[in-house]
Copies of this chain bind each other. A is one copy, B any other.
């Protein structure tokens, strides 16, 4: 149990919650946590569940506690692009705007801790540090979005796949510290979703993964489980 954060008087729900450590709730005092937790709901959503719909008003925000959420945009003729992935303890929502311009969907089974937008916006006024945390989170999302713009605009299919696997490894592998040489993880996305993320087709994704497998850069079991023995070899193919 960490000592640096006071745990007395904190709602039971929050005590072991990652959002209180690395997420936005870390900005809140125990009193504020108690107040917020009154309107807080913790729930699970199975893979595929739509969490936020395009151009529908959003009345709740949420912290991602586990699992992966994908943010997608769709053109009128059905072409889709995944514009972001969120992992615990990311904040899910677009403050200061009544309707969402994108769709959020559970990519894997997901645990959320949600609260009304009003509750959050009220808390932000009395606790500026909350807004600060939110700003930092959104700045990170912006950095990530821009990294993917480079991949989408300028990388080859092979580089896109390598970059994607690296990114997932860093976010998912339970204990992948900065100095790990190997990694293993479950892919949170299907081939179709990877294609929508990288601006490719299912077939190209499949072929490139097969290629990496053939060159012994990765091993794949049951389609979803990926093992990277030498992360450096994978990184060398990411292009940057």
Residues of A within 8 A of B (CB): 71, 73, 75-77, 79-81, 83-84, 94-97, 101-102, 128, 131-132, 134-136, 138-139, 141-143, 145-150, 152-155, 196, 198-199, 239-240
Contacts and interface: CB of A to CB of B under 8 A. Distances in A.
Contacts of A134: 135
A129 B237 CA distance: 44
A129 to B, nearest CB: 9
Nearest to A135: B135
Contacts of A149: 73, 81, 83, 145, 148-149, 152
A131 B134 CA distance: 10
Contacts of A196: 153
A154 B95 contact: no
B135 A76 contact: no
A75 B155 CA distance: 9
Contacts of A152: 149, 152-153, 199
Contacts of A135: 95-96, 131, 134-135, 138
B240 A76 contact: yes
A75 to B, nearest CB: 5
5 contacts: A73-B147, A77-B239, A131-B131, A145-B146, A152-B152
A174 B77 CA distance: 33
Contacts of A240: 75-76
Contacts of A150: 73, 75, 81, 83
A142 B154 CA distance: 20
A149 B80 CA distance: 11
A239 to B, nearest CB: 6
